[in-house]
Structures are given as structure tokens and as C-alpha cells.
Amino acid sequence: MGTAVRQLPAPRPELYTFSRLDLVAAGIYTAVAAFFATGAGLLAPVLLQLSPNPAVAAYAVNLAFYGATGLLALTAARHVVRRDLLVLATRPWFTLAMVPLAVVASMILTAVLVALTGPPQTSANQAGLQALMQQVPAWLMVPLVVFVGPFVEEYIFRHLLIGKLGRRLNIWLCCVLSVVLFAALHIVGQEALTLPVLMPYLAIGATLVFVYVWTGRNLMFSYFVHAAKNLLAVLFIYAVPPELLDRLQ
């Protein structure tokens, strides 16, 4: 008597062909990110019109941006999301074990790279995020920082830049582009591109690229790792008093 074998979803090359919705989502994301990097100062009067509290206004703008882009990304990648979740469902213990291990690996890699490049520095992006969290409650920040933001970034930097662009360009070139652009996005327009500031983002970017490629370009696995990393950071920032957080940094 033969034993039943759980079948993985068959490969679907058409899932890695650029669609019009991909181009729209990527175009909006790039245009808005470029505006924030070069003309963020122009937003100050508009933000004050939205709310007298700059932190609340900044949160609203980020939520609108990531929310709209996230809906486009989820619609464009819905078939990939479904397939990747089915793949992970065939090996749930692997997913439950490897997600936290990947987060720990990214933290170790970050510590090593930061130690090699000199004294650690807090980026303007990180400092701004911490200041925002001190004024916006966790129940509002978690949906943005843990659920929506990581999915949008994995869709842009892994699914499009590696999964789809990798069919036209050398896969390793796409991986390097993914790491570098992911890191640069988080600090460009805010400060000089110095190694101590750039290294933490290069480390997490390299980890996400590795797990994405290693799992057969599984978008949802890299998303789970990214979301878990952000959740850990959110819990740490909200749990540690601001004065102690400054000393730790």
C-alpha cells in the first residue's frame, strides 16, 4: 500500500511576469519615496493643517501612503501570496522555527557589521520612528510598522526586484540591488550615507534577501521574518522607558 504524499503547488512562471498593477504600485512607491527624500520639508505646512501634533500628522501620512500602496501590492501579488502560504502550510514547524532563527541571525549579523565599522550610530529614520512611537499608541503603530509596512517593502524589494526582475537580469545583481536600495531608502535624504548608519539596514536587507532566495523566492516567508523583526523592535521601544533606551543606544 502506497503512502500519501503531500504535493507542493506546481511552479507558475507567469507569476513572475511584470503586470500593469506591478508597475503602478512600484511607480507610486518610488515617486512618493523620492518626494519624501528630497522635498519632505515642503510637507511641514500640510502636516500642520492635518493636525497640530506633527507626530500624529506624520503617522496619518505614512498610514495613507503604505495603506494605499499595500492594497495595490496585495492585489497585484495575491496569487503569489496564496501559493506561498500553501507552501508554508505544508511545513508549519519549519516556518515556526526558522522565522525566529532568521530574526536572531539578522541581529547577530547587525552586531558583527556594526562592530567592524566603528561606534554604532542611530539613524535619523530610527530616531524619528522612536519619537513617533512615544506619541502614538502601540495599537495604532503595530498595524503600520508590523503588518502593512513590511509587506509593501517585501513586495517591492524582494518580489519585484528579485522574483520578477531576476528573470531578466542576473539574479545576484538583483540581490545586491535589493540589499543596497532597501538600506538606502531608510536613510536617504535624512543624513550622509555613512557605513555605521547604513550597516544595520544592510544586515537586515541581506538577511531578507537570503531567506527569500533560500526558500525558493517565497514572498510570505521573507514577509514573516520582516514583520517579526519589526514586532520585536516595537515591543522593545514601547517596553523600555525613553531615558533608558537613550542610554542603551
Say if pTM beats, i.e. exceeds, 0.85: yes
CA 30, CA 32: separation in Å to the nearest integer? 6
User: For 22-43, what is each residue's pLDDT tens digit?
Assistant: 999 999 999 988 877 776 566 6
Residues in the chain predicted with pLDDT less than 50, given as ranges, are 1-10
Per-residue pLDDT at 174: 97
User: For 51-90, what is each residue's pLDDT tens digit?
Assistant: 667 677 778 888 889 999 999 999 999 999 999 999 999 9
